Structure 1
Amino acid sequence: MEKARALKPDVITMDYEMPMMDGVTAVRQIMAENPTPILMFSSLTYEGARTTLDALDAGAVDFLPKNFSEVSSNSAALKAKLHQKLAQIARKTAATQTPMVKPVDVPKVANIKGQIRLVVIGASTGGPLAVTEVVRNLPANFPLPVILVLHMPENFTRAFAERLDKQSRVKVKEATDNDLLVPGTVLLAPGGKQTILHPVNKQTISVIDGDDRVNYKPCVDITLASAAKAQGAGLLGVIMTGMGSDGRDGARLVKQQRGHIWTQDEDSCVIYGMPQAVVREGLSDRVCKLAELSRLLSTEL
């Protein structure tokens, strides 16, 4: 806390277990005194997940799970991931001080009320807080099923689903194999697996191991691709804050099947990478402010 006051850093990394004060309390106090992007770097356990989610609620922007076997056996790879996260978060901070790039034109918004049968939401860096804001503001009578795909490891998705369910009027649960798509229920894709729509029974979820060559487990592209094939014009994909371009290829398939894509606007993203990749390809039907997404989902579908 003293260094945050004195140095005013671009980014802070924070563990949880420390002498004198735990990391969540430190995050809360730093955000109150000297708001700074904070990356939680904590253990890959269920309790570590719960603590990390507490830190996100306190104001941390993102997290990187600390797998102790990876620290000992492949520390170079973990170091590279940490560096990439820090650089991306710092770049977002610096971007607020530099001229904006001219935005890509987005076509006029089409009326899709009554057409949509399924909503798929994808996010990564900054996603837990952004998605929480959207889901907990959906009404109890929200008429559509939702699949939520976040780049999170297994213990984190379970803890996040439990927490979000307690905060929301809609039902939220971690998806399991053969779950049904139920109106007013949000199924969170489990970490370490791929979540797709069953190729025959299109109202059923399949949770599979997937291909190890795919970078993300769960992967937004894979879920969107299967949903596009199953739902066609009845699908709405929403691409939110996140690093990289996961969701772009899936969005292209959604559009080919006459489905619809919304993206989160740049100003409200922690990292604009995923929505930007979709917008630059001309695949976004609507750019939405985070604060408006719940209302738009509730009133325009």
Structure 2
Amino acid sequence: MNKVKVLIVDDSAFMRKVLSDIVNKDYRMEVVGTARNGKDALRKVKDLSPDVITMDIEMPVMDGLMALRCLMQEDPKPIVMLSSLTGKGAESTLQAISLGAVDFVLKPSGAISLDINQVETEIIQKIITASKANVAKKSPVKLMQRLPLKGSRGNGRSVVAIGTSTGGPRALQEVLTAIPKGFPAPILVVQHMPKGFTKSLAKRIGQLASIHVKEAEHGEQLQSGVAYIAPGDLHMGVEATYEHLKISLSQGEPMNGHRPSVNYLYQSLAKVKQYKTVSVIMTGMGTDGMEGLIELKTQCPETYCIAESEETCVVYGMPKAVIKANLANEIAPLDDINHRIVQAILGRGN
């Protein structure tokens, strides 16, 4: 088996050493080089041709974002960003994902994290996942054409429920920015993401979208034409009142390692049989969403599922699981998913 060749990019000698030790400890990977800034990294990439790059964001000479931008234009590679949890850090991380980074890992205690070993398992997992990712042709996210609403405006008894993970922020931006104003259903989104990042994600997408995009709040009533993103580290479900649905957030146990969990959302929707769900499963590692979708379709046979096609997924895990289980009503490339959502809500028997 060929080992995954990894380039470590960080301005801290300590971080380069510790990250190298973490990578080299795993039999599936080896560090082929290190770089102390983005400019150094660009040179090393040409010489070493790594399979995956770990990239710090804040570095002198050339920061991680500039290096990422150059690499995506010249020689796309799977890149895992290392980020600190600050307001600026969250923004920079989401910008990196938008530019084409596959994923990110939070440094536990800032730029030089003496306790980086706390996230050792996550680092290994995300590098291995990145090594299998589709990063070709990842130009900056384009704004998709917003489709005009035609036909029935629905009866207010439909919900769109989107589940996604690795590669999801880019995919969500493409889909949600193309949903037309006046869309006649609420949109619930579970994106696997840690606490502190989902509010920035909602804000970033909301600035580009025609619909309102926000981080979900416990107890709020669902409104048509609004996308609600589950807060990091909280499960999101729904509860039915006499006339409406409202959001229910919970810090219950993670499901298969995830909180928020797509399964949790779908299992919650399975209990509100008076509503039709259009489920959308997009790029992501693993199978989150499949078990919940089985329950949702069993309890609510009108549930309609759209799965992202392999050709546009950054990681073809979650959609693949749904498709293999024969749960997908249709398979669509990313640039057609917004159109399919509108058609499913307006034209499929609300």
TM range (shorter): 0.7 to 0.9
Q: CA deviation at 1:181?
A: 1.1
Partner of 1:244: 286
| Equivalenced residues, count | 283
SS for the counterpart of 2:162 is strand
Contact 1:254 1:261 in 2 (8 A): no
Partner of 1:188: 229
Q: Write the deviation string for residues 88-141 of structure 1: whole angstroms up to 9, x where unpaired.
A: 22123599xxxxxxxxxxxxxxxxx95860000000000000111000111112
Which of 178, 184, 189 is residue 137 of structure 1 equivalent to? Answer: 178
Q: CA deviation at 1:280?
A: 1.3
Q: Does 1:286 align with 2:327?
A: no
The amino acid of 2:329's aligned partner reads D
Partner of 2:196: 155
Partner of 2:317: 273
TM normalised by structure 1 equals 0.87
Partner of 1:211: 253
Contact 1:180 1:205 in 2 (8 A): yes
1:230 & 1:223 partners in 2: Cα distance? Answer: 11
The amino acid of 1:78's aligned partner reads V
Q: CA deviation at 1:200?
A: 4.6
1:212 & 1:58 partners in 2: Cα distance? Answer: 30
Which of 4, 18, 22 is residue 59 of structure 2 equivalent to? Answer: 18
* Within-5 A mapping of 1:162-173: 162-173=203-214
SS for the counterpart of 1:158 is helix
The amino acid of 1:219's aligned partner reads S
Q: Structure 2, unaligned stretches of length 5 or more? A: 1-41, 137-152, 346-350
1:16 & 1:94 partners in 2: Cα distance? Answer: 19
Q: Does 1:295 align with 2:339?
A: yes
Q: Does 1:86 align with 2:155?
A: no
- 1:212–1:220: structure 2 CA closer, same or farther, 3 Å change rule? closer
Q: CA deviation at 1:299?
A: 3.1
**Greater RCO structure (CA 8 Å; 6+ sep):** 1
2:237 & 2:182 partners in 1: Cα distance? Answer: 25
Contact 2:134 2:315 in 1 (8 A): no
Q: Write the deviation string for residues 41-68 of structure 1: whole angstroms up to 9, x where unpaired.
A: 1113332111101112222122222222
- 1:232–1:282: structure 2 CA closer, same or farther, 3 Å change rule? farther
SS for the counterpart of 1:186 is strand
Q: CA deviation at 1:177?
A: 0.7
Contact 1:149 1:218 in 2 (8 A): yes
Partner of 1:41: 82
- 1:61–1:300: structure 2 CA closer, same or farther, 3 Å change rule? same
Partner of 1:225: 267
Contact 2:159 2:275 in 1 (8 A): no
Partner of 2:43: 2
- Bigger shift: 247-256 or 42-51? 42-51
The amino acid of 1:298's aligned partner reads V
Q: CA deviation at 1:208?
A: 1.6
- 1:184–1:19: structure 2 CA closer, same or farther, 3 Å change rule? same
1:173 & 1:233 partners in 2: Cα distance? Answer: 22
The amino acid of 1:297's aligned partner reads I
Q: CA deviation at 1:74?
A: 7.1
Q: Structure 1, unaligned stretches of length 5 or more? A: 96-112
Contact 2:134 2:313 in 1 (8 A): no
2:94 & 2:321 partners in 1: Cα distance? Answer: 27
Q: CA deviation at 1:6?
A: 2.2
Contact 1:254 1:260 in 2 (8 A): no
1:59 & 1:188 partners in 2: Cα distance? Answer: 21
2:292 & 2:84 partners in 1: Cα distance? Answer: 31
Q: Write the deviation string for residues 63-84 of structure 1: whole angstroms up to 9, x where unpaired.
A: 2222229x65571x52221111
- Bigger shift: 115-124 or 286-295? 115-124
- 1:93–1:137: structure 2 CA closer, same or farther, 3 Å change rule? closer
TM normalised by structure 2 equals 0.76
Identity of aligned residues (%): 37
4+ residue segments displaced more than 4 Å: 71-74, 113-116, 199-202
Q: CA deviation at 1:281?
A: 1.2
